[in-house]
Amino acid sequence: MSEKNTGLPPANINGISRPGRGGVTVKPKNMKSTLLRLFELTKGKRRGLGWILLLSALASLAAILSPYLSGQAVTVIDNGDKAASVLLCLASLYLCDWLIKFLQAFCMAAIGQKIIYHIRGVLFEHVKTLPLAFFDKHRHGELMSRLTNDIDNISTTISSSLTLLLTYGFTIIGIFSMMLLLSPILTGVSMIGVVLIFLLTRAVTRRTGPLFKEQQKHLGALNGQIEESISGLSVVKAFCQEDKMESEFSRKNEQLCKTSIRALIVSGYLMPMMNVINNLCYVAIAVLSGVLYVRGIIGSIGLITSFLLYIRQFTRPFVEIANIYNNFQTAVAGAERVFEILDEESEPADKEGAFPLEAPEGNIELKNVSFGYSPEKQVLKNISLKIPAGTKAAIVGPTGSGKTTIINLLTRFYDVTDGQIELDGHDLRDYRMEELRNTFGVVLQDTALFSASVRDNICYGNPDAAMDQIIEAAKMTGADRFIRRLPNGYDTVLEQGGQELSQGERQLLTISRAVLTNAPIMILDEATSSVDTVTEQNIRRALLKLCENRTSIIIAHRLSTIRDSDLIVLLENGEIAEQGTHQELLDLGGKYAAMYRTQTGDNR
């Protein structure tokens, strides 16, 4: 007997394949607790799920009632009567089934997207509160995957898999009830096939779980290789490492391929074996029902017809639920990865009674400051340093000596391990965080521009600035000249973080941004490292004007740019090796003098 329209949802909805049939399945660590937490997270955003539950129950009616009506039609025809009324009922049933499934999908689309909108918002809201240490410990590609792919997996499960799971659940209960009503004997025999399918599914999924997990691992490694190769392609070409890059890609691609083949072969056993069990069960029920009919235990051909149709349909929901369960596992695993971010501690909140910082003078003092990014390695070791208000201080030293770390501590991207940093006589941690950071105008070593207009990038730290103030800030740094050559001047939209500009031009924009903040304390971390000598001199003159009557801290490798500083501090191995004015350090004849003469060729 050929399989008829069962009224069940198709195995592939909207192009969404089931991981159980070859997709990547990642198992959650604790499904129960994650689901409970997800349920709690979406509290107040699940309005309408009651209707989905009702529609899912109604959506199973076609699968439950159509075999019975088909059997009734056979019985009527066998008795020599017309089956027009029964066939009309069947047609009406399938029409109602289409309408119910449409309403179910319509409602679930709206509810599912509202829930995902809420989860995505909560996650992004939390991400912006995380300390810099979190982003230093996690690869950006991995975080992007959690914010996009894992959320999409949850979205897919809520929007489609959940409705299918509910529908199949009601279908199994309804069909089992109808089978018991028609023939308890045949129902008992058919349970043997169900048990065999359950045992088979369990055995196969135990093998495929670790294989798909390994596949996901190799897929992540391959994606990382692709990301690094594309982002660093200029370096690869500059060093003629194309063959090495291709070789590394081929190796990881081959690992992924072999693992995927093994996973797909093992998971491929499932469906053929299930079909064998289904067919054997179908044949056994057909033979047994025939024997029972001949002996008069079963009274009509229509009952046999209905039961055989039920047998065809009864095992299918189990198979689909197994596939949906795999999809469900991937979504819950994604939810766990989302919760791992939500469980990360935010930046420390302002302490109770934190001081306002309305008119800072700019007196900075480091008292016995020690700090390490990890407990095993101290970057700063018992640093003590005074920078009076209005002082232009420069910090120099070899790479890794702790220069940028001091900036991170001043802005409270990190907090000191030991000791304390004071601003105007109070520990930095005694101030409100937002007001403290607004005290600093910062130009970091890495330029950070956004996909917005040049004007918006310059006024990022001062959104209310007037256009003439923006232009004046750009003129101070010399950025105005190249900005006016852009297609739309200050209204030119920068794509991909300003990649169409040179490194030096991007640096000029970030310096212009700092100028516009008019902060009482300026921090310049290698502000001129990416510009030519002429531009450097222009910026230097602008910075001299900018630093007048305010505290400024300059980190530089080019010692010629900080000769006129009031205080120069030489760091070495996380400790202060020398400090003083430029002339004092030259007269000292120590490490600073040697560095300066090496750079300038001045042997005086």
Q: What percent of the chain has pLDDT over 90?
A: 5
462: pLDDT confidence band, cut at 50, 70 and 90?
confident
Q: What does the alpha-carbon distance between residue 277 and residue 284 come to, in Å, rounded to a whole number?
A: 10
Q: What does the alpha-carbon distance between residue 367 and residue 426 come to, in Å, rounded to a whole number?
A: 12
Question: Mean pLDDT over all residues of the chain?
Answer: 80
pTM above 0.85, yes or no: no
Residue 209 pLDDT greater than 60, yes or no:
yes
Residue type, 216: Q
Which residues are within 8 A (CB) of 326 and not within 5 positions of it... i.e. 6 or more apart? 18, 19, 20, 23, 25, 205
Four-CA torsion 525, 528, 530, 533, nearest 10 degrees: -160
Task: Tell me the CA distances in angstroms from 153 to 146, 212, 244, 327, 497, one per residue in order.
Answer: 10, 16, 35, 8, 29
The pLDDT value recorded for residue 529 is 64
Task: Tell me the CA distances in angstroms from 227 to 24, 139, 222, 231, 398, one per residue in order.
Answer: 20, 11, 9, 6, 31
The pLDDT value recorded for residue 13 is 36
Task: Tell me the CA distances in angstroms from 46 to 39, 252, 346, 459, one per residue in order.
Answer: 9, 42, 27, 40
* DSSP one-letter string for 492-505: PBPSTTTTTS-HHH
The pLDDT value recorded for residue 10 is 45
Task: Tell me the CA distances in angstroms from 5 to 1, 57, 67, 94, 310, one per residue in order.
Answer: 13, 18, 10, 9, 12
Cα atoms found within 13 Å of the Cα of residue 74, Cβ hemisphere only: 17
Q: What percent of the chain has pLDDT over 70?
A: 88
97: pLDDT confidence band, cut at 50, 70 and 90?
confident
Residue 355, strand partner residues: 431
The pLDDT value recorded for residue 130 is 83
Count of other CB atoms within 10 angstroms of residue 452: 12
Spacing of C-alpha 104 from chain mean position = 29
Residue 562: closest CA among 394, 406, 391, 386: 394
Give pLDDT tens digits for 140-183.
666 776 777 778 777 777 777 777 888 888 888 888 888 888 88
Give pLDDT tens digits for 482-525.
899 988 899 998 877 677 788 778 888 888 888 888 888 888 88
Q: What does the alpha-carbon distance between residue 408 and residue 142 come to, in Å, rounded to a whole number?
A: 24
Residue 19 pLDDT greater than 50, yes or no:
no
- The stretch 279-304 carries a mean pLDDT of 83
567: pLDDT confidence band, cut at 50, 70 and 90?
very high
12: pLDDT confidence band, cut at 50, 70 and 90?
very low
Q: What does the alpha-carbon distance between residue 402 and residue 407 come to, in Å, rounded to a whole number?
A: 9
The pLDDT value recorded for residue 141 is 64
Task: Encode burial over 14-53: b for 16+ CB neighbours within 10 A, e otherwise.
Answer: eeeebbbbbbebbbbeebeebeebbeebbeeeeeebeebe
Q: Which two tokens stand for residue 369?
A: 């400051």
Considering 296-310, 534-548, 570-584, the range whose residues carry the highest mean pLDDT is: 570-584
The pLDDT value recorded for residue 386 is 92
Give pLDDT tens digits for 210-225.
777 777 677 767 877 7
Element holding 369 (H helix, E strand): strand 364-371
Q: Are 441 and 514 in contact (CB under 8 A)?
A: yes
Its sign, for the CA torsion 547, 551, 553, 558, is positive
Residue type, 362: G
* DSSP one-letter string for 378-426: -SEEEEEEEE-TT-EEEEE-STTSSHHHHHHHHTTSS--SEEEEEETTE
Q: What does the alpha-carbon distance between residue 259 and residue 83 come to, in Å, rounded to a whole number?
A: 55
9: pLDDT confidence band, cut at 50, 70 and 90?
very low
By mean pLDDT, which of 65-79, 133-147, 390-404 is the weakest? 133-147
The pLDDT value recorded for residue 373 is 84
Domains of the chain: 31-183+333-346 (1.20.1560.10), 353-439+551-604 (3.40.50.300)
The pLDDT value recorded for residue 70 is 82
Residue 5 pLDDT greater than 60, yes or no:
no
By mean pLDDT, which of 113-117, 518-522, 599-603 is the weakest? 599-603
Q: How far apart are the first and last CA of the chain?
A: 103
Which residues are within 8 A (CB) of 100 and not within 5 positions of it... i.e. 6 or more apart? 55, 58, 59, 61
